Amino acid sequence: MSTTSIHVELWQVAASLVLVALAAAISRWQRADLERDILVATGRSIVQLTLVGYAIKLIFEADTIWLVLALLAVMVFFGAVTARHRADKVPDSFGPLLIALALAGASTLGLVVALGIFDPTPRYLVPVGGMVIGNAMTASAVALNRLGDEMADARARIEATLALGATAREAAAPIVRRALRSGMITLVDSTKTTGLIFFPGTMVGMLLAGASPTDAVRLQLILLYTLLGSVSISALVATLLAYRHFFTPAAQLREL
Amino acid sequence: MLFELREVGLDRGGRAVLDSFSAAIPEGATAIVGPSGVGKSTLLRLLNRLADPDRGEIFYRGRPLAEYEPLALRREVSLVPQLPALLEGTVESNLRYAAELAGEELDVEETLARAGLDPSFAGRDVAKLSVGEQQRAMLARALAQRPAVLLLDEPTSALDHVARDAVEATLARLRRESDLSLVLVSHDPEQARRLGDRVVEMPA
């Protein structure tokens, strides 16, 4: 893969703020009441991305795998904390989410390195790890959100199935299946339409940075497939661990 | 004695839904009556371990209920809940699911007939059944497991008079034609007397 570099001046960033001002003006003119949020969002994006930029710079310069692993562990932790809010109807969802994100990150990154697709260097592991864990977080949050809603709606049916002597796993199977599906479907659908309806971010970034379209497309394909893997693993692990929290060891529905 | 309850209590949300309840339920047909909210449904759920009591003890055929493996117990002591809750699919797929869980051979027509349904119900989509038909399909599904005891929670509460009389006739016939024991919960003392050999009253 060819390495390209592009230099962005601070004044260029500042100039792009004109479009933020335009967004705020539209909001004010149409009384959408988003000016404050736009201001906060702009401020946060500057601070957060700058900090992350410095952190990544440090990690690239240190060039040690341990710092990379520490950064990925932090991402997994905060990913699980964030996803927990979306999964508020699932009792004790933090544990399943943490394990799901850690497994999804470790297995997909481990696999792409083992297959020789990427070198195990900070330059690849940090950005790819961030995307893998970010997508895994969204997928597991959506899956557990669905699991919580459906378990609440289907209590009568689940208990009636338990009353037949079904195990908790059997009684929850249709719901686990639908939760897993809803966690995976967004990425599957966007993979289908990629290039037609939108240009994915990596490809855009590489083209802007001056890479050849061939390289940009190939890298984008690798990332899409890697994300499909991580999203499936995280949604699967999160739902399979979390559904148990609705049941007692004697296959009874817990009162929530 | 089929079931024996000693000083049984259960709390939900910091409130006792059942408190110091004792009763003896022999083989045969026993009707449990009492005003709504007195814990009748909860009592049935305790009898096949869909819930476990917080206080007191329950015995089934002389042995503590807590010693029974819950899944096997539920196939032997089968609960038909008040509101029908079938699995998506046809009536037959529901019967098959239940029979397979219990490891029983299934004769679809015979099972439907025992629940008072004609053979044409086998292929019907459960989503398109009336509540009364769903209630009967639930009964058929329980019978597909060949249980020794049927726990019936307000078996006719959602039905009009005609459908109610039909379900009562079906239950009476089940009693006559098998050695199935029934424990049924009803808010209606008349129905309790019609269907039960004995009536247990739950105090308000």
Q: Residue A4 — pLDDT band, cuts 50, 70, 90?
A: low
Chain segment A59-115, per-residue pLDDT in tens: 999 988 899 999 999 999 999 999 999 999 999 999 999 999 999 999 999 999 999
Q: Residue A1 — pLDDT band, cuts 50, 70, 90?
A: very low
- Work out the mean pLDDT of chain A and round it to a whole number: 93
Mean pLDDT computed over A227-251? 96
User: In this prediction, does ipTM exceed 0.90?
Assistant: yes
* The amino acid at B149: V
Chain segment B41-81, per-residue pLDDT in tens: 999 999 999 999 999 999 999 999 999 999 999 999 999 99
Q: Do residue B88 and residue A174 have CB atoms under 8 angstroms apart?
A: yes
Q: Do residue B78 and residue A163 have CB atoms under 8 angstroms apart?
A: yes
Q: What is the pLDDT of residue A32?
A: 93
Residue B85 in contact with partner chain A when CB distance is under 8 A: yes
Q: Do residue A255 and residue B12 have CB atoms under 8 angstroms apart?
A: yes
Residue B85 is nearest to which of A160, A166, A174, comparing CB atoms? Answer: A160
Instruction: Find tokens 């599957």 and name the residue.
Output: A188
Nearest Cα residue to A236 out of A136, A162, A128: A136
The alpha carbon of residue A199 is apart from the nearest alpha carbon of chain B, in Å, by: 40
Mean pLDDT computed over A139-163? 95
The alpha carbon of residue A63 is apart from the nearest alpha carbon of chain B, in Å, by: 55
Q: What is the pLDDT of residue B162?
A: 84
What is the C-alpha to C-alpha distance for residues B88 and A31, in angstroms, rounded to an integer? 47
Residue B11 in contact with partner chain A when CB distance is under 8 A: no
Q: What is the pLDDT of residue B14?
A: 85
Q: What is the pLDDT of residue B176?
A: 86
Q: Do residue B97 and residue A164 have CB atoms under 8 angstroms apart?
A: yes
Nearest Cα residue to B77 out of B31, B169, B145, B123: B145
What is the C-alpha to C-alpha distance for residues A79 and B48, in angstroms, rounded to an integer? 41
Nearest CA in chain B to A170: B101
- Residue B165's alpha-carbon distances to A36, B173, B189, in angstroms, are 66, 12, 15
Residue A156 is nearest to which of B71, B74, B81, comparing CB atoms? Answer: B81
Q: What is the pLDDT of residue A231?
A: 96
- Give me the total of CB pairs closer than 8 Å, taking one residue from chain A and one from chain B: 62
Q: What is the pLDDT of residue A5?
A: 66
Q: What is the pLDDT of residue A141?
A: 96
Nearest CA in chain B to A167: B71
Q: What is the pLDDT of residue B77?
A: 95
Say whether pLDDT at A197 is over 80: no
Say whether pLDDT at A2 is over 70: no
Q: Do residue B81 and residue A159 have CB atoms under 8 angstroms apart?
A: yes
Q: What is the pLDDT of residue A34?
A: 94
| A23-33: b (≥16 Cβ within 10 Å) or e | ebeebeeeeee
Residue A251 is nearest to which of B71, B141, B142, comparing CB atoms? Answer: B71
* CATH assignment of B3-201, among 3.90.1300.10, 3.40.50.300, 3.40.350.10, 3.40.50.720: 3.40.50.300
pTM across the whole model: 0.86
The alpha carbon of residue A97 is apart from the nearest alpha carbon of chain B, in Å, by: 28
**Which residues of A lie inside 8 Å of B (Cβ-Cβ)?**
156-157, 159-167, 170, 174, 250-253, 255
Q: Do residue A252 and residue B81 have CB atoms under 8 angstroms apart?
A: no
Side-chain half-sphere CA neighbours of B54 within 13 A? 13
Which B residues 24-83 touch A at CB under 8 Å? Answer: 45, 48-52, 70-75, 78-79, 81, 83
Share of chain A above pLDDT 90, in %: 82
Nearest Cα residue to A239 out of A188, A190, A189, A173: A173
Residues of chain B with pLDDT below 50 are none
Q: Are A182 and A146 in contact (CB under 8 A)?
A: yes
> Among A2-11, A108-117, A175-184, B36-45, which stretch is predicted with the lowest mean pLDDT?
A2-11
β B55-60/B29-33 pair status: unpaired
For helices B131-143 and B91-102, give the axis angle rounded to 10 degrees: 30
